[in-house]
């Protein structure tokens, strides 16, 4: 009885959070995505889409192919390649930095996963520099010696910048190193306000060892992606525009970052517009505020950006950058949810084209791109913190997304059962599925909630032991079910059999 009460209270709490967030969004924007709100609030996600869905939904420009380099990386965010092709990624909500071993067997997927550092405080940005691996936690920046040949750490991990604040809305820190200086972005605590900590809503600059820190540029609400243009060394940064001014205003920004410049927030939006709520008494700031060099659609949430350095691409990619648009959570019609390419024209203007699109279709979202890394193979690797995946986009290289070519998953626990034992588990699991009311939230074999999450091909992601353990700590909003081990195994057996 107590367990049932706890489960009921958990469900009610989740529903209350969702309802309040949806109400706030509705007041300002009209109907909003409850799925996106849950992702923003709780970091919840979905399982990686199956190969058939990827083939049907995700589109690249002509000449490019798409593969899935990694799956099952919950809340995967920023990425950097080592000198030998290992991919290091951050998982802030897990407090981890993970290394994905380079693809030595050329099957288009990483060759193994190992945790480099654990129990960090929301690690986000990464950078390799002069034998060091730099890591931006929410409250500090640290570094550790890294052996590129072995893919291992050497020596202790030490903080070189401390005392950064991480309260409020925008806790993540992004970093980039150029001209022997370390640049650190530090977002605002709020949607729109005047900060108590003058380092918030800025980009700071330090020596590479973390010394001599100064505020480099101000008025940047939440600059997440940083990179240097390869043709002139200029620093550019994405910036997320403020909320609560409607569906289509103000634009999100790409800024050319220069020392000592002020970029408008919180008093000025977009291309020189005084903020309707916060500009009174600050009109004079229009004279000094720098406008963005490019405006993304409002609430598209541009995050990671990477200038293209692969000279083998078609000519129009030679002065370009890829930007991950994480997607809106607060528009009446969802927008963003794609990777775009920005192209610098001879006259200095910038144009935008879709690069990897299809993550959102008619309000159904299968991914939220976060960051881009360019590999030694010339391919682009795109992290998706919603589906826990890393996609691989290559030009002139064939990649296979055919399910039939995948090796069948070996499940030793299932293989160890005889035919009668398997059938007994499946029959009991079917009864549990019905009695627990799973069909109220899921679709299975075409039956169940019309708008519920479809359960498909679970055997490609789980074995019997893994799925029964998943029921103990499922992804929100699915509640925890305090089933005994035997019943969890029965339910897992039924679902694995029913979704093959």
CA dihedral 402, 404, 409, 414 (to 10 degrees): 140
State yes or no: pLDDT of 115 exceeds 60: yes
Mean pLDDT, rounded, of the chain = 88
Structure-block tokens of residue 193: 């306000």
What sign has the CA pseudo-torsion 474, 479, 482, 487? negative
State yes or no: pLDDT of 25 exceeds 80: no
* Distances from the Cα of 168 to the Cα of 121, 191, 222, 450, angstroms: 15, 9, 12, 37
> Prior bond to 174 cis, omega within 30?
no
pLDDT band at 485 (very low <50, low <70, confident <90, very high): confident
Angstrom distance (rounded) from CA 305 to CA 296: 13
The DSSP letter of residue 459 is G
CATH superfamily of 51-403: TolB, C-terminal domain (2.120.10.30)
CA dihedral 99, 366, 350, 291 (to 10 degrees): -90
Angstrom distance (rounded) from CA 28 to CA 328: 14
State yes or no: pLDDT of 142 exceeds 80: yes
pLDDT, position 483: 86
β-strand pairing of 226-228 with 214-218 = unpaired
pLDDT, position 43: 56
CB crowding 409-430: b at 16 or more within 10 Å, else e: eebeebeeeeeeebeebbebbb
pLDDT, position 448: 82
State yes or no: pLDDT of 30 exceeds 60: no
Percent of the chain with pLDDT over 90: 66
How many CA within 13 A on the CB side of residue 92? 23
Predicted confidence (pLDDT) per residue in 410-424, tens digit? 677 778 888 888 889
What would be the CATH architecture of the domain defined by 407-500?
Orthogonal Bundle (1.10)
State yes or no: pLDDT of 35 exceeds 70: no
State yes or no: pLDDT of 478 exceeds 80: no
Q: Which residues contact 481 (CB under 8 A, 6 or more apart)?
A: 7, 436, 471
- Residues 200-229 have a mean pLDDT of 98
β-strand pairing of 442-444 with 453-454 = parallel
pLDDT band at 446 (very low <50, low <70, confident <90, very high): confident
CA of residue 167 relative to chain centroid, distance: 20
pLDDT, position 403: 46
- Residues 180-207 have a mean pLDDT of 97
State yes or no: pLDDT of 220 exceeds 60: yes
pLDDT, position 9: 52
Laid out side by side, the sheet with 453-454 consists of 447-448, 442-444, 453-454
CB atoms within 10 A of CB 406: 11
Give me the residues paired with residue 154 across strands.
145
Going through 261-336 in order, the beta strands assigned E by DSSP cover 268-269, 273-274, 294-296, 302-307, 320-325
Contact, 304 vs 370, CB < 8 A? Answer: yes
* Distances from the Cα of 353 to the Cα of 48, 105, 296, 308, 372, angstroms: 25, 33, 11, 14, 16
Structure-block tokens of residue 301: 């949430």
Higher pLDDT residue, 61 or 44?
A: 61
- Residues 7-22 have a mean pLDDT of 48
State yes or no: pLDDT of 19 exceeds 60: no
Predicted confidence (pLDDT) per residue in 293-307, tens digit? 999 999 999 999 999
What sign has the CA pseudo-torsion 474, 477, 481, 486? negative
Predicted confidence (pLDDT) per residue in 143-161, tens digit? 999 999 999 999 999 999 9
CB crowding 175-214: b at 16 or more within 10 Å, else e: bbbbeeebbbbbbbbbbbeebeeebbbbbbbbebebeebe
Q: For the chain, which residues make up each domain, given as ranges? A: 51-403, 407-500
Predicted confidence (pLDDT) per residue in 58-71, tens digit? 999 999 999 999 99
CA of residue 494 relative to chain centroid, distance: 32
What is the chain's alpha carbon radius of gyration, rounded to the nearest angstrom? 24
pLDDT, position 454: 74
Angstrom distance (rounded) from CA 495 to CA 500: 9
pLDDT, position 31: 44
């Amino acid at each position: 009885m107590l367990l049932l009460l706890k489960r009921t209270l958990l469900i009610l709490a989740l529903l209350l959070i969702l309802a309040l967030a949806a109400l706030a969004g509705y007041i300002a924007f009209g109907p909003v995505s409850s799925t996106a709100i849950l992702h923003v609030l709780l970091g919840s996600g979905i399982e990686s889409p199956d190969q058939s869905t990827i083939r049907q939904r995700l589109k690249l420009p002509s000449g490019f192919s798409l593969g899935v380099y990694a799956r099952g990386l919950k809340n995967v965010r920023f990425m950097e390649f080592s000198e030998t092709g290992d991919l290091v990624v951050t998982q802030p909500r897990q407090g981890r930095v993970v290394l994905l071993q380079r693809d030595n067997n050329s099957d288009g997927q990483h060759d193994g996963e190992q945790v480099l550092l654990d129990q960090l405080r929301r690690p986000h940005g990464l950078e390799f520099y002069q034998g060091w691996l730099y890591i931006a936690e929410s409250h500090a920046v640290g570094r550790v010696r890294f052996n590129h040949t072995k893919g291992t750490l050497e020596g202790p991990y030490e903080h070189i910048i401390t005392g950064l604040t991480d309260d409020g809305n925008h806790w993540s820190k992004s970093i980039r190193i150029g001209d022997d200086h370390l640049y650190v972005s530090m977002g605002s605590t709020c949607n729109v306000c005047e900060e108590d900590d003058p380092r918030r809503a800025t980009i700071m600059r330090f020596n590479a060892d973390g010394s001599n820190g100064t505020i480099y540029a101000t008025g940047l609400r939440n600059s997440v992606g940083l990179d240097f243009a390869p043709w002139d060394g200029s620093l550019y940064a994405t910036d997320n525009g403020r909320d609560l001014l409607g569906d289509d205003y103000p634009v999100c920004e790409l800024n050319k970052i220069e020392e000592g410049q002020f970029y408008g927030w919180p008093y000025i939006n977009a291309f020189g517009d005084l903020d309707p709520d916060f500009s009174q008494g600050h009109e004079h700031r229009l004279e000094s505020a720098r406008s963005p060099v490019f405006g993304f659609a409002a609430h598209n949430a541009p995050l990671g950006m990477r200038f293209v350095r692969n000279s083998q691409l078609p000519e129009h990619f030679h002065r370009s950058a890829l930007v991950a648009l994480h997607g809106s959570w607060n528009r009446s019609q969802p927008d963003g949810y794609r990777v775009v390419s920005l192209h610098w024209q001879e006259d200095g203007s910038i144009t935008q084209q879709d690069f990897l699109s299809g993550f959102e279709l008619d309000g159904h979202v299968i991914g939220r791109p976060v960051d881009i890394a360019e590999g030694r193979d010339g391919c682009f690797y795109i992290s998706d913190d919603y589906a826990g995946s890393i996609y691989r986009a290559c030009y002139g290289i064939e990649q296979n997304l055919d399910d039939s070519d995948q090796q069948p998953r070996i499940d030793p626990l299932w293989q160890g059962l005889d035919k009668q034992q398997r059938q007994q588990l499946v029959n009991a699991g079917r009864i549990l599925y019905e009695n627990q009311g799973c069909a109220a939230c899921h679709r299975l074999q075409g039956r169940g909630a019309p708008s519920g999450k479809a359960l498909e091909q679970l055997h490609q992601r789980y074995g019997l032991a893994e799925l029964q353990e998943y029921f103990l700590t499922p992804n929100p909003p699915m509640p925890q079910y305090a089933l005994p081990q035997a019943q969890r195994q029965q339910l897992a057996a039924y679902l694995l059999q029913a979704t093959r």
